[in-house]
Amino acid sequence: MEFTPVLRAEWIKIRTLRSLLGALCAVLLVTTLFSALGGLDTGGADFDPLFAAFFGVSFGQIAAIAFGATAVSSEFQGGALRVTFAAVPRRGRWFAAKAVAIAAPVLAAGLVTGAASLGVGRAVLGDEADGLSWSEGLRAVVGCAVYLTLMALFAAGLTALLRSGVATLSVLIPFLLIVSFVIGDMSGTVADLLPDKAGQVVFHETSDGTLGPWTGLAVTALWTAAALVAGAWSVRRRDA
């Protein structure tokens, strides 16, 4: 089977699962809600209005990884994967189509979410947002879409490797919360190279660490690529 019909079939699977549509909506709602709350805290000499406007991404990314994990884990339920492989014997082609079918809607939702977060953040920050340039805002909106997409694919790759969405979420959610709230202020260390902390540099006006906005996303992309390669290997080598 050619790639296009395989991709079409995977897209049909995703858009007919209510839990996946709910996860996309949650990305937007959770991110904008917490961005609004983050904009209320303007204290401190090191206040960063851009990060305050996109503060909610730290929470919205949980819905994004749930989307990626659920999209893959649904294949391991009820023998669905055996039926899929009967229709698409080339497993690598199927996994590539699955990854594209996950990435496209998250990227679109991420752009909407980024634009909404910027708008809500500016509104809540008021005069505190006067220093934000539109180029910085545009960078953060695009970065939001790319970052959420990479995290969803990262979860998809881990789910294919672990063969369980529950296991993936049990690993990633505590990991992300620990990185974001416990060692999030540790700049200039190996923590800068962790997938979420590296990618979220794009939401800062300036960075004290070793990575810039786009190099940070590149590091996250490397983590995602490693997870997808591991997931593809698992799909190709292990029984359905």
| Tens-digit pLDDT profile for residues 156-171 | 999 999 989 999 999 9
Burial bucket for residue 107 (CB in 10 Å: 0-12, 13-18, 19+)? middle
Structure confidence at residue 186 (pLDDT): 62
Structure confidence at residue 45 (pLDDT): 59
Residue boundaries of the structural domains of the chain: 3-237
68 in Cβ contact with 106 (< 8 Å): yes
Stretches where the chain sits below pLDDT 70 are 1, 41-45, 179-181, 183-189, 239-240
pLDDT, tens only, 185-220: 665 567 788 899 999 999 988 877 788 999 999 999
Confidence (pTM): 0.93
Structure confidence at residue 145 (pLDDT): 97
Amino acid letter, 125: L
Alpha-helical (H) ranges within the chain are 3-15, 18-38, 49-53, 57-73, 80-87, 91-125, 134-162, 165-181, 195-199, 213-237
Nearest to 240 by CA among 45, 94, 69, 24: 94
Structure confidence at residue 44 (pLDDT): 62
